[in-house]
Chain A
Amino acid sequence: MAMPDRGTKGDTMVHLSDIGLSHDRGKNFILRHVDLTIDKGQFVALLGPSGVGKSTLLRVIMGLTPPTEGQVSLTPPASPIGRSTALVFQDAKLMPWRTVRQNVELGLEGVGLSRADRHARAMATLELVGLADRADRWPRQLSGGQRQRVGVARALTVEPDLLLMDEPFGALDAITRSALQDELLRIWAQTHKTVLFVTHDIDEALILADRIIVLSGHPASVRGDFMVGPRPRDRSSPATQALVERLKALIAGEPDPGDRPAYWQASEI
């Protein structure tokens, strides 16, 4: 198991200690002994094979699924209308009976904001994701990439301290996907959000994240934790290639090859 080596020592945004999750009263565990600390402002990729429990872990962090064991500590929301966390779903999951703007307003309803205030906040985030001119369209009138941008806007509108993203670009074509990755990095640089981004794609993790956490095994736990150097990453550099080899091995549940050739041991690239 790779040692967690977190570079920055900022404020802690979320702390998971010894999380275990079982749907049959402890006979079989999906997650076990998951320990994780994420610092403010970090862009963290949660990397692991499909079906390992990455999305489940996001739901545990959000409080949608209570853990069987262990504790989730989140910093309380900074803004009065804000939430600690907001989730960007796979396939956007917009409500088809709401216009784009109404979808973005979902998290602002019932928190005591005036209608005009809700409109203004929703329009501001739609501006941020570049869809202000589509505010009165129906979701069915948007492309897949636009729908997912609305999903991002819906999450950003509630001013979350921690933005959780559940393979948000997985269902998109390569070109749209790459464009949205660039856009997400731009938004991230603009808003300084803490992001936990679930993916099973090593390249996506390398493009986006400051830090890559590998979740794998049955039951799943954190098998690797790597800081990645400044963007953009040179995919052909020996250090990156070494990291890719280590990530591949850890995802597959094999021992970390990091110990073998001496120069592979550097997890800081």
Chain B
Amino acid sequence: MRPDRTSLTRLGLGVLGLLILFGSWEAIVRLGWVPAGLLPAPSSLGPAWLDEVRNGAWQAAIRDSLTHYVLGLVIGSVLGALVGLLCGAVPVLDALLAGVVRVLRPIPGLAWVPFAILWFGLNTAGATFVIAISVFWINFYAAYGAVQSIDPDLYEVAAAFGHGSFVGRLTKVVLPASAPGLLAGLRTGLGQAWMSVVAAELFGVPGIGARMMQASSLLATDLVVVYMLTMALLYALTDMLFMVVRRRLLGWQG
């Protein structure tokens, strides 16, 4: 996409909004409107971040969290999309799993933490499990809905041109037609997974979430904010990466 006047204006306004946020935040702290120690000034974040980088904690936290994030995201998305696609495409399976889905769907990923600890322990596998579950349902419903909304005539087109078998329908119609829905689910999952990373690590698996818990128990609020912003940055990066991939895959939508 070519940056035109309107999108440049939007970008400028976005930057201005951030400047206003951080400027007024700094002013509030400097003017002493909030008690010292409750809110760190933005200007104190830079030195706090440099300290974390120097002792290596920042890099280690990012590395650990990225590991949980990527593993949980991949496992949860692939399984969720797969089961969702199959349920959407095979009515018998859909009926068979309808009850199971109703029972399991409302349970939030965090509720599985006790079992994650029991089954996997306070390690990468435990955190991955919690993240994967919350990502699973998003992708399951996205895939299921995408398959349900396929124009049924396209199955007939496929059959008329020699692709009437289950595999033919899957590869020539179901997968390409549901790709936009699948990718929309994946994108929602990208954000949801970062939220789950913090939740999954709060109970003690090393990573950004665990580091934030340590910092907050020491009342190092500046470090907490540093990691909040780190998380925002990582999300922005993954989302940008995703949009590049999406544009390549869905060129036909224009």
Enumerate chain A interface residues (CB-CB to B < 8 A): 62, 64, 83, 86-87, 89, 93, 95-99, 106-107, 109-111, 138-141, 154, 158
Contacts and interface: CB of A to CB of B under 8 A. Distances in A.
A97 B172 contact: no
Between A64, A87, A95, the greatest number of chain B beta carbons within 10 A of the residue's beta carbon is seen for: A95
Between B157, B163, B177, the greatest number of chain A beta carbons within 10 A of the residue's beta carbon is seen for: B157
Contacts, number: 58
A185 B161 CA distance: 23
27 contacts: A62-B160, A64-B156, A83-B162, A86-B161, A89-B156, A93-B153, A93-B154, A93-B157, A95-B157, A95-B172, A95-B173, A95-B176, A96-B252, A97-B176, A97-B250, A106-B157, A106-B172, A109-B163, A110-B162, A110-B168, A111-B162, A138-B254, A139-B252, A140-B254, A141-B254, A154-B161, A158-B162
B179 interface: yes
Interface in B144-180: 151, 153-154, 156-164, 168, 172-173, 176-177, 179
Interface of B: 151, 153-154, 156-164, 168, 172-173, 176-177, 179, 250-254
B167 to A, nearest CB: 10
B163 A95 contact: no
Contacts of A64: 156, 159-160, 164
A83 B159 CA distance: 12
B217 to A, nearest CB: 52
A95 B177 CA distance: 8
Contacts of A141: 254
A106 B254 CA distance: 22
A163 to B, nearest CB: 12
Contacts of B156: 64, 89, 93
Contact of B252 (A87, A106, A140): A140
Nearest to A138: B252
Given A97-B179, A106-B163, A109-B163, A89 B157 contact: yes
A97 B252 contact: yes
A3 to B, nearest CB: 33
A98 B252 contact: yes
A94 to B, nearest CB: 8
